[in-house]
Every structure is written in C-alpha cells, then in structure tokens.
Amino acid sequence: MGNHRMNAKEPIILLIDGQCNLCHGITRFVIKRDPEAKFRFASLQSELGQRLLQAGGLSKDSLDTVVMIEHGSRYSIKSTAALRLCRKLGGFWPLLYGGIVFPRFIRDRVYDFIASRRYRWFGRQDSCLMPTENIRSRFLEDSWGSKG
C-alpha cells in the first residue's frame, strides 16, 4: 500500500483542547451530528496531537485553537476550521460556512475573543476528558496518553 491516496472513508481529524469544557461540548455536538463517523478526535495535549501539530508546522503550544485535518495533510485552524467543520455537518449547519466570506483576520479576532475566555466562561478540567465508550471509539488511539 505504498500509494496513499485520499479514501472517501478517510476520517477528518479534529484536534481539541482536552481540558476545555467548551471543546468537550463541541466534541459531543459533532458526534451527535455525525452518524457516518466521518470525524475522529484527538487531544491537542496527547502525544498524537503533539505529533500532528508538528507535522502541520504548528506550534506544540497551540492549545487555544481547534485544528481540522483533512486528507491527511490539509490543516485548518481557528475560524476557518470551525466553518469547515460546520460545512461537513448535516442539517442547516453548512449554511454557517457562508461566514467564510468575511476576511480571516476579522473571523479569527472573534474566534480568539471566545478562545481566550473559554475557561472562564465554560470551565476546564484538571485532566483530559474521560469519554464514554461511544465517544472513546471516535478518538484516535493514543489520545488519552499521559499528557492528555
């Protein structure tokens, strides 16, 4: 299998802050609206998350953003990742992708405003989420390592 072509069934990876209650809520939200299990998750703090950040040329300290990885190499962060995520969900959520028309610096300003207050507004865990079996099956293998 030397030829690594994009498989239609290849999952989309979302890297999330494993200690953020808002991020846990977003994970549950996506899983509930993703019956085909297109999305897989990993904690930014996990060994795998750290490796994926590095592979995408992102700082290993980039814990204040969601990272979406498509096709194994297309990395999106912040507002672009959030909008691309909405586009992949069912229902009316893809309509939110229309927000992509706003300049990224404006979208990311709003994203950063929320991200910088997420612990204050939604709380945080001292350790990464301990998922239910349904949620655990959607996380990539070493997402719950000693870092996460």
- pLDDT, one tens digit for every residue, the chain (148 residues): 344 444 456 889 999 877 666 777 788 889 888 888 889 998 888 888 899 999 999 888 777 788 999 988 899 998 999 999 999 998 899 999 999 999 999 999 988 888 777 767 766 666 555 555 666 666 676 544 434 4
| Angle at CA of residue 53, ends 147 and 82, nearest 5° | 105
Residue 129 tokens, joined: 């989420």
Q: What is the pTM of this model?
A: 0.77
Nearest one of 53, 33, 38 to 148, comparing CA atoms: 53
Which residue in this structure is represented by tokens 């929320």?
114
CA nearest neighbour of 23 among 60, 58, 65: 65
Give the torsion sign (CA, 52, 45, 23, 107): negative
Residue 126's identity, in one-letter code, is D
Domain chopping of the chain, boundaries? 12-136
Whether 82 contacts 24, CB under 8 Å: no
